[in-house]
Structure 1
Amino acid sequence: MPQMFRSLFAVAVLAAISSNAAALSRRDQASVDALNQRMQAAEARYRDAMVMIGNADPEGQKQSDAALEDMEDVIAQCMKQRGCSVPTMLTAYKRLLKLNADAEADVPEGEDEGDDHASPLAADVPEAARAAHLLADDHRFDKMVQFNPAVQAGIRRWLTDMRGPLISSYENYQYMRHLMWPQYERAGLPEALLFGIMAKESNGKVHSTSRAGAAGPMQFMYATGRRFGLGDDGTGFDTRYDPRSAAEASAEYLNERMGQLNRSIELALAAYNGGEGRALRVYQGSGGRNFWEADVYNQFPSETQDYVPMVIAAAWLFLHPREYGLSFPRVDAKPAPLRLAQPSSIYQLTICLGNRGERDGYMRALRNLNPRYKAESWLPAGTTLNATTRIVGLYNRWCTTGARAELARTLVLSDPTTAIVRMGPVTTVDMGAEAASQEDEATDTTAREQAKPAKPSKPKRPRDYRVQRGETLTAIAQKFQCDTGDLAKVNKIKGPRFAIRPGQKLKLDGCGE
């Protein structure tokens, strides 16, 4: 319910500003009194639900959700009821925020047992501090696009075959929201538009790359990305994969297109997908008609004809989930730095963190927040990763010491090639002649052993190594007890991908003896 509460709070703020204090009729006063009583009852139900949740009663979450929905209905009616004081109603939210803050303060550091039942209010109401401004930005989108059968078909697809990708897109976006949304907000573009494009382009996976070469969460082609400041940042990292940079470039690109195309979101989206040159030619050639007119629509490829309503449909659902019975999951995505206490990789962290509070675990969140690192890259102790407060708590509890930490390390260091037992060729022995030759063989063996020079106590590791098919630089570094970064530096291999090829000769300077 994040969008619902932010929008609700926004409308409430606006209503409070415009309220008047005219005298009330007896009927209006009775209606106001009834609304106040309903709000008090809903608040009491919510407090009781919090106690149930604290006692691990599974009904607690249902009761708290129902209470919050009652409060939403009361405030919606209050805004329509003459003489009803919206600020008074909002006081209940402040009390519930205090209730949540006190409950969170009682949980010891590193423990998160209660987080699975965290109220959406705790996450959503503080964000509503900018509520009136957000309302103007967000729901202006409803008036900027056409809601027609093509969009309805897109909504149907997102809610049926593509419901899973839509939910995943929302979860992924929540982790990156603090990086991406401010870029659209500064550009005066609706957040829903950002979500719709990202959901359709990449499902919120920052390392997504198309067959055509589009890359990153917003899927920029290389040349287009270069025009808007994306590309190699001098370290070998392509900033098309960076969510903050990609969102900033996307907002700039869309505003540039909308400036050419009469502020039409549909045509700007058609340009985003089908090419800006084509969109401008079609727009100018049609005399400025809109995307949905046949002589405009039919000049775009079928991919673009599908793309535009699907983006709008995802954006529409982002703003109106409850209307369609859609429940977006609550995501605890408060940003926090994670400093590694020992060498690790994102793969290793994913294993030891587990998946408490997150159905699919935390690998996607860690990868999205740290796009410069490959999942298997070996990161030295002291490396600081972008994470969340929940991830940091789980790391401190499970990933520094203990059985799970050791198990995670064992699993990521396992080499499947060592499972294969290699034996010499099988030979057929003449059993009759074997006994007769044993004495001669023993004599020959003694002579050979005496003639052999003494073997060194410990063979030397090779100083060079030929890359085998399927090997990564990280796997080789682990095999020879090297640091991946040091091994890359010695061999002049650029990160973060550390690309190597079969047969390539690597120097093992600095590796373990």
Structure 2
Amino acid sequence: MPDFAVLARVSACLLVFSSILLPANGQAQSRREGVAAQTLAERMDAAESRYREALVKVGNNDPDGITESNAALEDMEDVVTACGKQRGCSVPRMLATYKRLLKAGADARAAGDEADASLADDDDLPTGNVPDAASAASLLSEDGERFVRMVQFNPAVQAGIRRWLTDMRPSLMDSHENYQYMRHLMSPAFKRSGLPEALLFGILAKESNGKAHAGSRAGAVGPMQFMPATGRRFGLGVDATGFDTRYDPRASADAAAAYLNERFAEFGNDIEMWLAAYNGGEGRAARVYREFGGRKFWDVDVYNQFPPETKDYVPMVIAAAWLYLHPDEYGVRFPKVDARPATFTLERPASIYELTICLGNSGSRDGYMRALRNLNPRYEPDAWIPPGTVLNGTARLANLYERRCAKGERAELARQLVLSDARGALVGGPPKKPVEPPVSTFTPDASKIATTVATGVPTPPGQPRVHRVSRGDTLVSIARQYACDAGALARANGLEGPRYAIRSGQRLRLEGCAN
């Protein structure tokens, strides 16, 4: 928010300035002087309007708001300086603009103070309702007193900050970069529910590092790591195309917001208990909450009811959230990425692997594979995606695709690398020829044609064909040969990871293969 203290200081300086530079003796103005003075007055009015519009943007979390408000203030200062030099121009009239803005700022702050006071007086909120936007957002806001105390006086959270800033700093940076690409998909759910965005980031960083396809040994998957049963409760699971929506950033954020609001209804303002339930199970958290009469998470008897993983999880999420809000205080410079959302349409068959190679890493240290996968979670990285498919990306990605991937030397090089087969290096065996991806005639409209598993690969009509395994074949090489998804091929033939062992002479059903 623009600092109204700056307005006050500028106003005081201009008051002194006006006493020095006011035109003396009420000298008559010429027509030209009157026009010049009126022009300055109009400039001041326009700058005030721009400043007020900028404040609206700031209130709506528009990143341009701060820049525009500062520019408007600079315009006002320039006008007052010019007014002091222009005969017939009234500096006190210009100064009235600053007074109006100061009063507006004071009124806004007074209203905010009243809201904060009413919240502070209501420590025992009823647990039967989800929080409204104002009260929930204040729980973990940048200037929230409770969160400040938590960081300043809780050694567990301080230790979490230390870990994020040392051996886990790369994970923190990766989480932030990954989140920027998905922010437009995930943050609206938390804002609609009155939940702080910093909490979303903290959970995301600890759960998945912002990787949409992350999975745990226990079976939790997706950017917010939902277990199958919990996911189903909140609308997540396998859809009509076979895609598990737990991997979808927007859907998983919607579910996480609903889950946390449900925990608010159960535990009130105890954010730590929300997080303990998120990690250690809501059943355990509810039992502990009941047995210990609603005592807080940091009460030693309550704390010791949770497993070590949860004891570590809670302060680490809070620490990541705090760093998201206050990076400068800890010398953190999060990577800046151009994450403006945009789409682009494939002009020829491609895979995420091929696109990653031809796009390069201009503007990104690690390239765009993670961004492509996060924004298009239904496609496996080695699956051929038919032409005409609209992929989600950013403005930069759309531009790079047209320049490097639609056609040209870089596109051909990427395709050659993706189609390469290591068996081609062997001497004396049958020649291995790179298999070109098919020019698909399938429509990408999922409502018109059945699709297989989470890749969205169209299922050709008729019975699936069969491949007889030869010596040297691997599941991946067969999948590339027939332009199908290796994971789908394994599932269709009952092969289990991680080795997906196949034997010479075995017949594999080529379900979902387009070639």
Shift in Å at residue 139 of structure 1? 1.6
Partners of 2:73 and 2:11 in 1: CA distance? 27
Is 1:421 paired with 2:421? no
Q: 1:29 to 1:237 in 2, by over 3 A?
A: farther
Partners of 1:174 and 1:93 in 2: CA distance? 29
Partners of 1:185 and 1:244 in 2: CA distance? 13
**SS of structure 2 residue aligned to 1:505:** strand
Q: Match of 2:478? A: 476
Q: 1:93 to 1:464 in 2, by over 3 A?
A: farther
Q: Match of 1:202? A: 208
**SS of structure 2 residue aligned to 1:139:** coil
Cα distance per residue 1:128-148 (max 9 Å; x no partner)? xxxx99985862684454221
Partners of 2:293 and 2:204 in 1: CA distance? 31
State the one-letter code of the partner of 1:338: F
> Which of 378, 393, 412 does residue 384 from structure 2 map onto?
378
Asked which structure has the greater RCO (Cα within 8 Å, sep 6+), the reply is 1
Is 1:505 paired with 2:508? yes
Shift in Å at residue 93 of structure 1? 6.7
State the one-letter code of the partner of 1:505: L
Partners of 1:167 and 1:337 in 2: CA distance? 25
Cα distance per residue 1:370-406 (max 9 Å; x no partner)? 0000000001111110010001111111112222111
Give TM-score, length-normalised by structure 1: 0.64
Cα distance per residue 1:15-51 (max 9 Å; x no partner)? 59x9899x97679857xx9xxxxxxxxxxxxxxxxxx
Query: Following superposition of structure 1 onto structure 2, how do residues 424-439 of structure 1 map, counting pairs within 5 Å?
Result: none
Q: Match of 1:41? A: none
Q: Match of 1:464? A: 466
Cα distance per residue 1:308-360 (max 9 Å; x no partner)? 00000000000000011100111100011110111110000000000011000
Is 1:356 paired with 2:351? no
Partners of 1:89 and 1:399 in 2: CA distance? 37
Shift in Å at residue 263 of structure 1? 2.1
Partners of 1:237 and 1:287 in 2: CA distance? 42
Q: 1:163 to 1:89 in 2, by over 3 A?
A: same
Cα distance per residue 1:419-439 (max 9 Å; x no partner)? 222369xxxxxxxxxxxxxxx
Q: Report the count of equivalent residues.
A: 365
Q: 1:467 to 1:165 in 2, by over 3 A?
A: farther
Partners of 2:225 and 2:335 in 1: CA distance? 25
Q: 1:509 to 1:422 in 2, by over 3 A?
A: farther
Q: Which runs of 4+ in 1 moved over 4 A?
A: 18-21, 23-30, 86-89, 93-96, 132-138, 467-470, 491-494, 507-512
Q: CA RMSD in A?
A: 3.9
Q: Match of 2:250? A: 244
Give TM-score, length-normalised by structure 2: 0.63
Partners of 1:354 and 1:88 in 2: CA distance? 32
Partners of 1:361 and 1:94 in 2: CA distance? 40
Q: Match of 1:232? A: 238
Q: Match of 1:313? A: 319
- Kept in 1, the 8 Å contact 2:484–2:514? The answer is no
Shift in Å at residue 87 of structure 1? 9.7
- Kept in 1, the 8 Å contact 2:353–2:418? The answer is yes
For structure 1, the 5+ residue unaligned runs are 1-9, 34-85, 97-131, 425-462
Identity of aligned residues (%): 57
Is 1:291 paired with 2:297? yes
> Which of 211, 215, 227 does residue 221 from structure 2 map onto?
215
Shift in Å at residue 286 of structure 1? 1.5
Q: Match of 1:160? A: 166
- Kept in 1, the 8 Å contact 2:138–2:144? The answer is no
Query: Following superposition of structure 1 onto structure 2, how do residues 74-93 of structure 1 map, counting pairs within 5 Å?
Result: 90-92=69-71
Q: Match of 1:429? A: none
State the one-letter code of the partner of 1:484: C
**SS of structure 2 residue aligned to 1:484:** coil
- Kept in 1, the 8 Å contact 2:484–2:513? The answer is no
Partners of 2:321 and 2:335 in 1: CA distance? 16
Q: 1:337 to 1:281 in 2, by over 3 A?
A: same
Q: Match of 2:417? A: 411
- Kept in 1, the 8 Å contact 2:493–2:509? The answer is no
Partners of 1:371 and 1:364 in 2: CA distance? 10
- Kept in 2, the 8 Å contact 1:398–1:405? The answer is yes
